Structure 1
Amino acid sequence: MMKEILEKVQQGILSVADAQEQLATYENLGFAKIDYHRKKRQGFSEVVFGEGKTAEQIISIINTLQLKDKAVLVTRISKEKAEQVLGTCPSFIYDETAKILFWKDSNQELRFEGYIAVVCAGTSDLPVAEEAALTAEILGCRVRRIYDVGVAGIHRLLDNIEDIQNATVTIVVAGMEGALPSVVGGLVSHPVFAVPTSIGYGASFNGVSALLTMLNSCSSGISVVNIDNGFGAAYNAALIHRLIQKGAEQNENTLS
């Protein structure tokens, strides 16, 4: 990218001022420094965490990101705050269940083949599961949602096991005792990201019980993220999914 920009300057196609703007790694808004280089370093653009930010701050950030990227994602944003943002940025979409505000270029296509499975134990876990599913989709991945298949009715999970086994990565979201990731982990040959939720009665300690169960899982290949962190699981799953697809593309190119 840098070489191309410098060559355009040399050829007189691009001014020095425009080149300087394109080479900038971040923009200082005073209250936030927008990291334009994130996508180059990590493969995905900067994501905005909505909690603790005012609607005005979010509007400034997403307007700046929208100039550079083909997708903008804001997580953990309340309905009231999202409605304020939508008044100024009507091209964005708000999902109340996931508490996600997002925008995607209408010309942007899904970047990768295959899919990530998002498996959810119960309906009460849906907000976290949808945060994971929507995040993965906005990052360019296909997603299959397999919901309400907790261990209390294991036949529901087994009825969907082929779809789960054919995924490249699976995200498993569960509260209460958090047993579902161990079951799924023992049935698949790909990475599993376990997400404990804060759903449960008193002794679940707002998700700590599920977190400890998942950390102590006897199934191999399970990684555990923080309580209610659907975003974190989806981001990691998308990174792995992207690497798998790149490897497949390289093998096809080698064989051809």
Structure 2
Amino acid sequence: MENKRSLFVMMGIAAIVILFIAFKALGPVINPSAEILSKSEVKTLVEERYNGQITEIILKNNQYVIEMDRNEMNYEIKLDAENGEIISFTKKSNIASNKANPEQAEPNPPAKPLTENEIKEKILSEFPGELVQFIKINEHGKSQYKVIIQGEGKKTILKVDAQTGEVLVQKLETEATVIITEDEAIQIALKEVKGHINDVDLESDDNILYYLVEIDTSDDREASVQIHAITGEVLSITWDD
């Protein structure tokens, strides 16, 4: 009798183990009640927003991965399937100008580089808002501009080609809204430390957006003033002797 009871216990444990392994193999079950946008809704949304032609839409991990042709360029867009927010916007490749006979297609002469002001105007025509950061960087041996544009309730972060002004990467953040401008941050910093402005950067740390204002004083000291970009509060002042 005792042997039979032990056998039943062992069989029960084995069944539980088998069910656990099967559940892990199947992976997490997606909640069927979660409402997501349809492919047709996503296609209309992206084409109207970017004035491009959608070539492919794939739903993966509650995100839509979208291939789009726009202005002779091919882009990959990742979009939240529930709220339609753009997660990333990345340039992939050039589109051949002569698809019918590519062997006879001649390369286009290099376009005249745009000036910094022309690139700013081009970006703001596509992404309306306040230009709060525009700095030149070098990434993978290629000159680019890192751009931050503050709109109504959202912040757009871009990387654009320093020659053509073409958008290479786009990210949208909606958690924080910049209220004060760079000039306002400078005025707040100068009230705390008198001197000459050396540099101003908009930075983020632990989801806190702040301006870091560096000031050179008349006694050859340097102060770094950290100012909250939403409230204008002075978060810290550090000195470099």
TM range (shorter): under 0.3
Bigger relative contact order (CA 8 A; separation at least 6)? 1
TM-score (norm 2): 0.26
TM-score (norm 1): 0.25
Higher strand share: 2
Higher helix share: 1
